[in-house]
Structure 1
Amino acid sequence: MSSPYVDLDRPPLAAAGLRSTLVRPGRLVADLRVVAETGSTNADVRALAVVGAPEGTLVTTDYQSAGRGRLLREWTSPPRSGLMFSLLLRPVEVPAQHWPWLPLLTGCAVVEAVESVAGVRLRLKWPNDVLLDDRKLCGILLERVETPTGSAAVVGVGLNVTTTAAELPGTHATSLRLAGATTTDRATLLVAVVRTLEALYAAWRTGADDPRDLSHDLHGGLRAAYRARCATVGRDVRVQLAPDRWLEGRAMDVDEGGRLVVRTTDGDHALGAGDVVHVR
């Protein structure tokens, strides 16, 4: 009997098993769609949100042909080599000024979950990258969308799992396989990340997890958790604010609004967005 997929080391995601595990009454994931190929999971979830999809709608795929990251950068990887998914969130009770914490919260969830199941040590690069050995392992993209039932957020995650060195875009990136992770099973990783994200998101949206509170651990203060994991704070950085505008200085903190505080010769600057380069 022939195999249903070409690469035995890269099996497709099994929709039925994932649904039985993740889609349960009272849990965050309300609808799980597993597709063999799509242009962009973020675009798919955004379109579903516009026609009234509920919070917890999740789309994951074996191959994303038109994925993108921040600043509209193209993001692709070979079929079944990465974990790519997007999740619809509707935190209507959370003030809009706190929504920028969602990609940082997602980064914390990725770090905790992947470290727990894959046996690697990860760090966060502000605002939306997960690093392994100071190289990019995972990117996170947050998009706000207006829907008939109010504002919503689409959170996208792209994690390099079995990508080889030859398949990566350069030496600045890495994968779990290259790091010798204890598991590269994408279903295991998806379940771990989603469950951890669900717990952190529930605490954040109910106010139990106040980003201004520095007194708790990963399951208490989100700001404290992020700062403890952040490889950017304490480093010299160059931040691209526009195509022809850069800011150079020392990253001092992540403030209560999720902004990176960079100290330069003319004072402190709180940045809500920007492309950060760690200066060695």
Structure 2
Amino acid sequence: MTPPNDSSDSSPDVPKDSAAGSGDASSRWSDLDRPPLDAGALRRALIREGGLWTSLDVVPDTGSTNTDLAARADSLPEGAVLVAEQQSAGRGRLDRRWSAPPRSGLFFSVLLKPDDVPVERWGWLPLLTGVAVAAGISRTAGVDTALKWPNDLLVTVGGDERKAGGILAERAGSVGGGGVVVGIGVNVTLRADELPVPGAGSLALAGAVSTDRDPVLRAVLRELERWYGVWRAAGGDPGVARLQEAYAAGCATLGRVVRAELPGGRDVTGEAVAVDGDGRLILATEEGVREPVSAGDVVHLRPAGG
């Protein structure tokens, strides 16, 4: 899973759907404002014949759901979902680390195998996931979530934009047997005194009408299934699937002057004017050049003055 706040080769050795041991800080009832997820109810709501989701496991804690799911990518069917109530080694792009209190958010990964889509279009999967997550959160929590290219989820807290979540997509498994593991992390009930950095936020701090994680997770996975199906039916073409249009409509980066920090100390400054068909951010520089930057090349993307 990717850190909302900025490899092992085996799955966690814990019983599925169990909670952490009682009598300590990680007990499932140690914080009554943060009840555990109901894995059985989630399965009944999401797993159906002909649907995308084929399994859903909830573990009390692990290092990284992305790492665990990636280790099993060859042996699992598409549509496996792994959720952790707590992660000790959550990570995002460029291996940035993160941690959060138990049951304070949604920390999960999904396994996708879009074998019928050209590999060069798989780069749209994290952007597609961002569109799905924003839609699911808006519908269930009543919070407008903006997308910061390429993988951040932003909410407004006290008039300020805060990072409340993130997305990390990684190739996993062997050619022909693996796929892509997409990790999602969203801070749901993180409190002001728990913020790891000033720029972090949560759905609760953004004024969510509900912080019940079960319906939020169901809504996000349903939106992800819907968008993934449309994108796949279009052969991964983001224009035909109208994914490119949907992403641009929710992208807070577009229209702003930003500085893209690239490997080797090089940077590019310009107005973000578009996201192209390959998922790259197009910057219009003062020299009149339109320069595309890809997510894999960007070390940091910051406001031009910051």
TM above 0.5: yes
Contact 2:259 2:268 in 1 (8 A): yes
Matched, 1:35 2:56: no
Report the AA paired with residue 270 of structure 1.
P
Residue 73 of structure 2 contacts residue 178 of structure 2 at CA under 8 Å; is this kept in 1?
Answer: no
Q: 1:225-244 to 2 correspondence within 5 Å?
A: 225-242=246-263, 244=265
Partner residue, 1:216: none
Would you say the 8 A contact 1:92–1:151 is kept in 2?
A: no
- Tell me the secondary structure at the aligned position of residue 147 of structure 1: coil
Larger CA deviation: 228-237 vs 242-251: 242-251
Deviation at 1:279, TM superposition (A): 3.7
* Equivalent position SS for 2:48: coil
- Is the contact made by 1:209 and 1:221 (CA closer than 8 Å) also made in structure 2? no
Deviation string, structure 1 residues 128-147 (Cα, Å, up to 9, x no partner): 11111221111000001232
Which residue does 1:223 correspond to in 2? Answer: 244
Match of 2:283 in 1: 262
Provide the residue aligned with 2:165 in structure 1.
Answer: 138
Please list the CA deviations of residues 77-117 of structure 1 after superposition, one character each: whole Å capped at 9, or x if unmatched. Answer: 11000101000000001111111100000000011110011
1:276 corresponds to 2:301: yes
In the alignment, the residues of structure 1 paired with residue 224 and residue 254 of structure 2 have an alpha-carbon distance, to the nearest angstrom, of 23
CA distance in 2: counterparts of 1:41 and 1:4, whole angstroms: 19
Corresponding position of 2:188: 161
Q: 1:4 to 1:84 in 2, by over 3 A?
A: closer
Determine the C-alpha separation between the residues in 1 that align with 2:275 and 2:173.
Answer: 28
1:7-48 Cα shifts (integer Å, max 9, x gaps): 000011122111111122111110111100000000011011
Match among 214, 224, 227 for residue 200 of structure 1: 227
What secondary structure sits across from 1:84 in the alignment?
strand
Q: Distance in 2 between the 1:190 and 1:206 partners?
A: 24
Paired letter, 1:120: V
Q: State the SS of the aligned residue for 1:277.
A: strand
Question: What is aligned with 1:179?
Answer: 206
Q: How many residues align?
A: 272
> Are residues 279 and 148 of structure 1, via their aligned partners in 2, closer, same or farther at CA, if it must alter by over 3 Å?
closer
Structure 2 residue 77 is the aligned partner of structure 1 residue 54: yes
Q: Which runs of 5+ in 1 are unaligned?
A: 214-219
How many angstroms apart in 2 are the aligned matches of 1:14 and 1:66?
Answer: 23
Matched to 2:179, the amino acid is: A
Q: Offset of 1:151 from its aligned partner?
A: 4.5
Whether the 8 Å CA contact 2:116–2:235 is kept in 1: the answer is no
Match in the other structure for 1:190: 217
Q: Higher relative CO (CA 8 A, sep ≥ 6), structure 1 or 2?
A: 2
Q: Secondary structure at the match of 2:270?
A: strand
Does the aligned pair in 1 maintain the 2:152–2:167 contact within 8 Å? yes
For structure 2, which runs of at least 5 residues remain unmatched after alignment?
A: 1-22
1:116 matched to 2:139? The reply is yes
The whole-number CA distance in structure 1 between the counterparts of 2:206 and 2:273 is 29
One-letter amino acid of the counterpart of residue 130, structure 1: L
Q: 1:210, CA displacement in angstroms? A: 3.2
Superposed CA deviations along residues 187-219 of structure 1, whole A, max 9, x for unmatched, are: 111100000000000010111773134xxxxxx
Match of 1:245 in 2: 266
Q: Give the drift of 1:4.
A: 4.9
Q: TM-score, normalised by structure 1?
A: 0.92
CA contact (8 A) 2:275 2:281 kept: yes
Q: Distance in 1 between matches of 2:41 and 2:113?
A: 26
Report if aligned partners of 2:122, 2:236 keep a CA contact under 8 Å in 1. Answer: no
> How far did residue 246 of structure 1 move?
2.1
Give the Cα separation in 1 of the matches to 2:265 and 2:34: 41
State the AA in 2 paired with 1:44. D
Aligned to 2:46: 22
Query: 1:224-267 CA deviation, whole Å, 9 max, x = no partner?
Result: 00001111111000112126232211111000111000122341
RMSD: 1.7
